[in-house]
Structure 1
């Protein structure tokens, strides 16, 4: 076994140990169990001694871990971030138990199964592995470097928000920020055969709405023409029948042109003349996949439904929760007006539960972008690096108000099937891409 092989296998063993710690985001705020989060922090101290010897660690907002790596000189600080909380999972329906961290296959086909492999302990561990090696070798970054591991990204994101407030209070100027997000993907566009490294330069706004109907109840044997539940169902159908308008934005146009340049004619001609063929490309994106459709429009998903208390009684209150991802160029207010117009029923009350407008678009050129692109190319030489609009929310949105260079990229190759396991059953990653992710952060940290 070579030295690199030995390092890789040791890193894999550490990731498996961290996945086995059930840091599930507490949903019961009245009595949360934080013991797994405390165990995770203690385990990091044992697994990564050089980091804890060289860097200063503090705990923010209860369980978010913030490490400061003092730089050689004053300048804008960089932040490498990930989160270590995970969404819930039971053994039901999983090929391998979600917290067993089992490895199957051999050689390049080895796969690590478990909740958090992709979202987001895999990224957290690659940062830790690279930082541990650099710290042990005596490396010092040019400017301060912070490692941030959030504890509640999957719920409220209060940890990252508190860190931003803390750094502002201390007068820290934040420059480069890198969080989870895009990845190295294949077959993103027709006729484009090279892998694509998509880097999120913005993210859609994440807002929760409720639709509520309240009306007279009664015995289920004599229902009115339109019950509360039927009225709510009609509202949901109307929303489905009136989707938000699809449109291009500058980020998506740049992505299409840069990726499309590696395609084959005649589509290459279309992709590289995106402004001429904008209406056609919008239509193509809407039909190509759910992922591409989400890039060009605001999306609405009904995620929770609640109604009556008894099988033979009319519901006096029926409610739906909408998870809305707002496209860049739009706002929470504009989104609410569309919902109300589409539903067209004054008896269906539309209310905002939590609101976030889309994140500002970060710089897509310049020295910081180039530094990131070079680091990606060093790890994935055949990949085309391109900006894109991220559809999922991350803790990095908290930094968008203090930095123009906030990026979202997970340094892993992910197939469409693997991306489909995020927040779902059978989350997994190829072991080899985890090793490549460590090399990515090795190179990135060396450039900071």
Structure 2
């Protein structure tokens, strides 16, 4: 169980199959095309089986139904026998899966393919199809798979499993070590990935390419750009939760003071909403605008490709296009929790709000807290830090590893424009940012705006055809690691 589990054994499970090559006796590497043909229906049924297991992570660790996580781990072992025979496996922090796929050359940087198999909670209420039933609708290329975790993030987990299973079964061995890391608590505490990253550092593993969930293949983000855009996170905003607390004398609600504790807290929240953080165009977003803007229609194309000279205009435009683009250019704040009095006729003596802040790259937790204090401008409102996360270091936006990833995306989505961007949500990959400048965040699936809106919401679903494309994306990527 996360947080209370003993440290994992330093010796992972070794593959038992005598037919697998060892590090001391490398075998000739098969040609890049060596791979079993994808049995789409069988792969889809394996995906559905894993979707039906409700691996819901919760902030209250004691409330987690750990048997579901045990069932998931056991089912993965049952469904992917070649992978388990050819790779070394260990459980980290209780339930996070860490596999080592030994390469022909165990020197040099190892690659890490990441995803998480925990999901946010879901009840049957309001869903067109029950969230853990893995229902299929439609036919042919229009088939849709419904369920919690399809997009976030079992779709990526099972795509990686499918690609590796077929590669091992075909006798393929990567040139260098590849690690598969499937976190069990990304949606809550992130202890699984944190422990695994620390474990690899302690073992002296050099980390090269890291790929986790993140951007996707999207459309309609930039005006007049008609081609799909594959957005690859090269950094992510810091995720920090602040508390705003007001404590003062209570009393009977029939004789309230001029300003109650609730009034002070409400005023602080209003000030946050009416004084947003300043918008700025960072280097990553500027690169994204130039890259994607080259495919826009004039006159916007003229402006986009000269982003450096039109910074003030672009900052203003991105701040108004929509919530996605507005979040790209500033630190954002959102009040997510409120607590106050215990009775309807009593003045609360302590009221509190939780403010979830996504800190833009170039800023920090310390600077953000100082600005919050200046905006609120009320010493009676105490500002505390509930959880702290700095923005991730920016990865390379060119070079061999970027080009390798770009080529794999273009093979699956030849019409897509591949561009870097700053991920607005937090991912487990941030644990590797201090040790690698090739940490990328990309889910190899097409997602419409409506589909993206189901993340952490009702009716989460994925088009089956794009999931198959995701498997082939990992096929191509693995053959070149």
Same fold (TM over 0.5): yes
- 2:245 alignment partner, one of 204, 207, 212: 212
Partner of 1:51: 83
1:344 and 1:5 map into 2 onto residues whose CA distance is: 64
Partner of 1:425: 458
2:362 and 2:463 map into 1 onto residues whose CA distance is: 36
Indicate whether 1:281 and 2:314 are aligned. yes
Contact (CA 8 Å) 1:209, 1:321: kept in 2 or not?
yes
2:458 and 2:254 map into 1 onto residues whose CA distance is: 41
Contact (CA 8 Å) 2:225, 2:297: kept in 1 or not?
yes
1:29 and 1:224 map into 2 onto residues whose CA distance is: 41
- 1:413 alignment partner, one of 425, 442, 446: 446
Aligned ranges for residues 39-118 of structure 1 at < 5 Å?
A: 39-73=71-105, 74-118=107-151
Partner of 2:233: 200
- 1:356-402 per-residue CA deviation (whole Å, 9 max, x = no partner) reads 11000000000000000000000100101000000000000000011
2:59 and 2:197 map into 1 onto residues whose CA distance is: 24
Partner of 1:174: 207
- Residue 90 of structure 1 aligns to a residue whose secondary structure is coil
Indicate whether 1:260 and 2:293 are aligned. yes
Indicate whether 1:305 and 2:338 are aligned. yes
Which blocks of at least 5 consecutive residues in structure 2 are unaligned? Answer: 1-34
Partner of 1:33: 65
Indicate whether 1:348 and 2:348 are aligned. no
- Residue 447 of structure 1 aligns to a residue whose secondary structure is coil
Indicate whether 1:392 and 2:425 are aligned. yes
Partner of 1:189: 222
- 1:12 alignment partner, one of 44, 65, 70: 44
- Residue 314 of structure 2 aligns to a residue whose secondary structure is helix
- Residue 479 of structure 2 aligns to a residue whose secondary structure is helix
Contact (CA 8 Å) 1:208, 1:322: kept in 2 or not?
yes
How far has the Cα of 1:29 moved from its partner? 2.4
- 1:272-321 per-residue CA deviation (whole Å, 9 max, x = no partner) reads 00011111001110111100000100000111101011111111111000
- 2:176 alignment partner, one of 116, 131, 143: 143
Contact (CA 8 Å) 2:54, 2:68: kept in 1 or not?
yes
2:219 and 2:441 map into 1 onto residues whose CA distance is: 18
Contact (CA 8 Å) 1:26, 1:33: kept in 2 or not?
no
- Residue 161 of structure 1 aligns to a residue whose secondary structure is helix
Contact (CA 8 Å) 2:92, 2:98: kept in 1 or not?
yes
Partner of 1:375: 408
Indicate whether 1:163 and 2:196 are aligned. yes
Indicate whether 1:119 and 2:152 are aligned. yes
- Residue 213 of structure 1 aligns to a residue whose secondary structure is strand
How far has the Cα of 1:225 moved from its partner? 1.3
Alpha carbons of structure 1 residues 144 and 6: separation in structure 2 relative to 1, 3 Å? closer
Runs of 4+ in 1 over 4 A off after TM superposition: 3-6
Alignment RMSD, CA only?
Answer: 1.2
- 1:24 alignment partner, one of 31, 40, 56: 56
1:364 and 1:203 map into 2 onto residues whose CA distance is: 14
Contact (CA 8 Å) 2:123, 2:131: kept in 1 or not?
yes
- 1:223 alignment partner, one of 253, 256, 267: 256
2:37 and 2:260 map into 1 onto residues whose CA distance is: 65
- 1:169-204 per-residue CA deviation (whole Å, 9 max, x = no partner) reads 111000000000000001111110000000000000
- 1:334 alignment partner, one of 354, 357, 367: 367
Moved more, 422-431 or 389-398: 422-431
Contact (CA 8 Å) 1:78, 1:175: kept in 2 or not?
yes
How far has the Cα of 1:27 moved from its partner? 2.6
- 1:116-149 per-residue CA deviation (whole Å, 9 max, x = no partner) reads 0000000101000000000100110011000000
- 1:12-62 per-residue CA deviation (whole Å, 9 max, x = no partner) reads 111111111010003322453211111000000001000000000000011
2:459 and 2:255 map into 1 onto residues whose CA distance is: 46
- 2:281 alignment partner, one of 245, 248, 263: 248
How far has the Cα of 1:6 moved from its partner? 6.8
1:6 and 1:140 map into 2 onto residues whose CA distance is: 18
- 1:407-440 per-residue CA deviation (whole Å, 9 max, x = no partner) reads 0000000011111111111111111100100010
1:6 and 1:274 map into 2 onto residues whose CA distance is: 43
